[in-house]
Amino acid sequence: MNFEQARFNMIEQQIRPWEVLDTQVLSLLATVRREDFVPKAYQALAFADLEIALPPQTHPSQCMLSPKVEARTLQDLAVQKHEKVLEIGAGSGYMAALLAHRAQQVISLEIEGELARMARDNLQRAGIHNTLVLQQDGAQPLTDPQLAGLFDVIVISGSVAEVPESLKRKLKPGGRLSAIVGSEPVMSATLITRVDEQAWRTEQKWETLAPRLRHFPTPSAFRF
């Protein structure tokens, strides 16, 4: 398989038509080798417009999101070199690799031990050293000392019914949080910006679908 041609086709036929025009994001997609973060059995699908299952495949959220969703998320967040990023859902480490090229530091949480090890190995082989992958359920309280303090950017790599207040409060003033919010058949890529100590601004940027991350709360249904 000609990976370079497939990468070029992905950018020109999937990413650009999905209104991803940020030259820095496009350059990253051309540079970071997505095929190195895909299980070998699925390398032929590395640049396809679909989600790729990741081992141990015990839950639908164990996947790489489609390239266009990852790219547009990066464009929305506009991560800067001085910023500290928290990612919920490391998967194979590919999104962390993209974020690491833009940020000062990335801490990525992964509930599955096997995936956490895969992400660490992939990032190490890619020569990316400003990332830390922790095995932790991102839906639970962030008590690890390495997660103390606030973050400039938070990325939820999967969907949630709603964004927990506890995560919104982990943003610095001016910080941004990206999540895919809602329930099938319609979910919205949502950007939450912390305006000040007590206020947040929420924007629904575009519609998509993504597997639900485990253990994040679902609002109780309204009853008369």
Bridge partners of residue 35, in order along the sequence = none
Q: Could you tell me how far CA 52 lies from the centroid of its own chain?
A: 14
Q: Which residues are catalytic?
A: 61
Contacts 24+ apart (CB under 8 A), 137-146: 137/109, 137/111, 137/214, 137/215, 138/88, 138/89, 138/109, 138/111, 138/213, 139/88, 139/164, 139/213, 139/214, 139/215, 139/216, 139/217, 140/215, 141/166, 142/166, 142/170, 146/107
Burial class (CB in 10 A: 0-12, 13-18, 19+), 33: middle
